Structure 1
């Protein structure tokens, strides 16, 4: 048990703190930290992750604030933490290996380094099981991930959804685009002809999104994913946050793609 007073201003960090058994040390979170619900719902909320109430944060007297550049725009909060001379740790994972590394870094920063290896080992075991299952597949599907509809934001080469796609034996439709995200056009999506389309709109609960919001777009009827009924709305918390929940998403993805292998 750590004696630190910890604040998390990014949902993925809150989830990693829970994986390390540190959620009881958390004294405040951003508004979007919603998991695990039973543990975070009563914690003080400090505003949306891009507009943290720094006065309220200071009042909570944190020993350590955990931020993450995986959320575009978080730089403003980091600058304020620096100005206020508040001890903080900034994570910015792009790959599966970097998520493992962040777990080790976070555990060390919070004084519980011995807990990291257990968590990493469990996640690595999940990856291995998924790879073994995907190895028996008969095809390598093209996967289109949509973070936001207007304009279209989709992951590029330097995002965890590219290796996630590869681990299930597929390919991220825009993995050839440099950087973390790419602003695609509808014409590009149609031309690249994805086999599966996944709506994971950041910050939007799955029950607020309908597949028709994608399938009804002009020209999309020509896309194989639409023709074959392979357009899905997935829980964004399992694919848009670089935490242990991403590995749950990985397990669910391989089941979705290859039900015949179950």
Structure 2
């Protein structure tokens, strides 16, 4: 079977299922694992996928995802080429696991997919004390601040890490926030995980220097933590690593709180 993957998360799912040898092309943003994706033909970024190039690779299956806003247009262009497609649209951890099982079934490795999902479920189960944990805001974009709401897999990731989503009152996958909204949310930490930006280009000082945020607990205590979007924004196997890094943020906030408690 010949597979073309159009999103990082699907590329990583195929690899985690032990089927990376079936990939014959990927989108420009798929970067993991490098040994697999670097030699492969690239078919374009996000919304600029070259349908003709995809068709020229003669795939038996194209994996797409509507987690990329506007990807519907790409899917429509590919449909005109009469290509066989699987289109996933995970919005939660449960959806992510369902996508893995679906893709595994399509590729004839249902048992592998079930084992992968079982290990992920164990790592992503809510921590017993998450409701009393620190409030963490996950920022997808800095200008304006766009944060993950309660319809995102981030909600469950934070609970698994022992934290609350500071934006849990936002009934959406993500939303631009006003300064007043952030002040009212009063996050104990801000995790910056900027979409499409390499980790080495994240700039915590952008958040730190927002005048209206000066009294927000996360800013006062300097809990502004970069976590690569590769571990936060891709609904696939590596969100488990995202939870591990979020746990470190939770421990950092709790340590600060403990140290500041009068004795």
Same fold by TM-score, threshold 0.5 exceeded? yes
Question: Gapped runs of 5+ residues in structure 1?
Answer: none
In 1, Cα distance between the equivalents of 2:44 and 2:131?
47
Which residue matches 1:45?
A: 42
1:157 counterpart = 2:150: yes
Which residue matches 1:115?
A: 112
Three-state SS of the structure 1 residue aligned to 2:41 is: coil
> Residue 2 of structure 2: which of 2, 5, 13 is its match?
5
User: Structure 1 125/166 Cα, relative in aligned 2: closer, same or farther at 3 Å?
Assistant: closer
Tell me the matched-pair count: 254
1:236: Cα distance to partner?
Answer: 1.1
In 1, Cα distance between the equivalents of 2:133 and 2:121?
22
User: Structure 1 30/136 Cα, relative in aligned 2: closer, same or farther at 3 Å?
Assistant: same
In 2, Cα distance between the equivalents of 1:254 and 1:73?
32
In 2, Cα distance between the equivalents of 1:137 and 1:190?
22
1:138: Cα distance to partner?
Answer: 9.9
> Residue 233 of structure 1: which of 203, 226, 234 is its match?
226
Which residue matches 1:32?
A: 29
Which residue matches 1:179?
A: 172
User: Structure 1 162/138 Cα, relative in aligned 2: closer, same or farther at 3 Å?
Assistant: closer
Q: Work out whether residues 187 and 217 of structure 2, in 8 Å CA contact, stay in contact via their aligned partners in 1.
A: yes
How much is the aligned-residue C-alpha RMSD, in angstroms? 1.7
1:195 counterpart = 2:192: no
In 1, Cα distance between the equivalents of 2:222 and 2:172?
30
Which residue matches 2:235?
A: 242
Q: Work out whether residues 130 and 160 of structure 2, in 8 Å CA contact, stay in contact via their aligned partners in 1.
A: no
Q: Work out whether residues 137 and 258 of structure 1, in 8 Å CA contact, stay in contact via their aligned partners in 2.
A: no
1:32: Cα distance to partner?
Answer: 0.3
Deviations 1:183-242 (A, max 9, x none): 211221123211000110001012101211101011221110111121111111100100
Q: Work out whether residues 142 and 172 of structure 1, in 8 Å CA contact, stay in contact via their aligned partners in 2.
A: yes
Q: What's the TM-score once normalised by structure 1's chain length?
A: 0.92
Deviates more, 1:100-109 or 1:247-256: 247-256
> Residue 94 of structure 1: which of 83, 91, 95 is its match?
91
1:136: Cα distance to partner?
Answer: 6.1
Q: Work out whether residues 30 and 52 of structure 1, in 8 Å CA contact, stay in contact via their aligned partners in 2.
A: yes
Deviations 1:111-161 (A, max 9, x none): 222211111122123235xx5xx4368942111111011222111121100
In 2, Cα distance between the equivalents of 1:136 and 1:146?
23
1:26: Cα distance to partner?
Answer: 0.4
Three-state SS of the structure 2 residue aligned to 1:147 is: strand
Q: Work out whether residues 209 and 233 of structure 1, in 8 Å CA contact, stay in contact via their aligned partners in 2.
A: yes
> Residue 17 of structure 1: which of 14, 18, 25 is its match?
14
Q: Work out whether residues 141 and 147 of structure 2, in 8 Å CA contact, stay in contact via their aligned partners in 1.
A: yes
Which residue matches 2:203?
A: 210
